[in-house]
Amino acid sequence: MSKILLCVTGSISCYKAAELLSLLVKNGNEVKVVATEDALRFVGKATFEGLSKNKLYADMWTNEGEPIAHITLSQKWADAIMVYPASADTINKLAAGIADNLLGALFLANNFQKPFVISPAMNSNMFLHPATQKSLQTLKDWGAKILEPAQGHLACGDAGVGRLPEPAEAFKFLKGILGAK
């Protein structure tokens, strides 16, 4: 059993995070969820708490009993951290070292001694934009693992690269990384 910190950002595809969460729990993992404010506009707190059987972490300032959750979750609790989906905004903020939310602080507290997986999900133009590509390369250079986005139908109606990989693929990717530890 592994302890997985599942981080969910604002993307129309974040409903897939609930399915990934369910898969992780059904396979014997303990999962805690960190959700950005934007993620909670798409999928509610009750969904993540119900599926994980753990409280949701969404704010650096309201974690009763855990005032330094960004340290305890990333350094002391988790065996692996996965950002699924990772929006363009989040990817670019992480690469710039911006910690204006709990996820950003978690990332800066991470020393890459444990897997930190980022799974981009966005429109093709946003994914292919030089800023996003440079940020992804920076994150890779620092030690993050990137689960590359799929090709296919996107929420905006376009087709192309940027589609969030299916939960089963993300589960397999994470399992492979954890098995390699």
- DSSP string over 65-83: T-TTHHHIIIIII-SEEEE
Spell out the residues 6+ positions from residue 168 whose beta carbon is closer than 8 angstroms to its own. Answer: 23
- Known active-site residue 14: no
Q: Which of 109, 156, 161, 178 is catalytic?
A: 156
Beta partners for residue 31, in sequence order: 4
Question: Mind spelling out the 3-state secondary structure of 115-137?
Answer: CEEEEECCCHHHHHCHHHHHHHH
Residues involved in catalysis: 156
